[in-house]
Amino acid sequence: MWQNIIVGVIVMVAAVSLVWRYLPARWRLKAGQLHPSLAPKDGGGCGGCSACGGDSCAPDRRQP
């Protein structure tokens, strides 16, 4: 019985995490206004993946 409860809790946490990740940014920002711990960690944009190799996603700042 306890195994079913623990598995149910884990599945619920995973479902909430998945839904939170794909919520529109506007909704996440509103939730952050209600409670600071719900605010998104980054301001959006680039910064979550390693595909760009660091600063290569930043705007091009070459000297003319």
Summarize pLDDT for 39-59 with one digit per residue, the tens: 766 655 555 555 555 555 555
Report which residue type is found at 5.
Answer: I
Alpha-carbon distance values, 44 to 2, 25, 26 (Å): 40, 8, 11
Report how far residue 44's alpha carbon sits from residue 7's, in angstroms, rounded to the nearest whole number. 33
The answer to whether 40 touches 28, Cβ cutoff 8 Å, is: yes
Q: Output the pLDDT for position 54.
A: 54
Q: Output the pLDDT for position 12.
A: 97
The answer to whether 25 touches 44, Cβ cutoff 8 Å, is: yes
The answer to whether 57 touches 46, Cβ cutoff 8 Å, is: yes
Please give the residue that has the higher pLDDT: either 54 or 27: 27
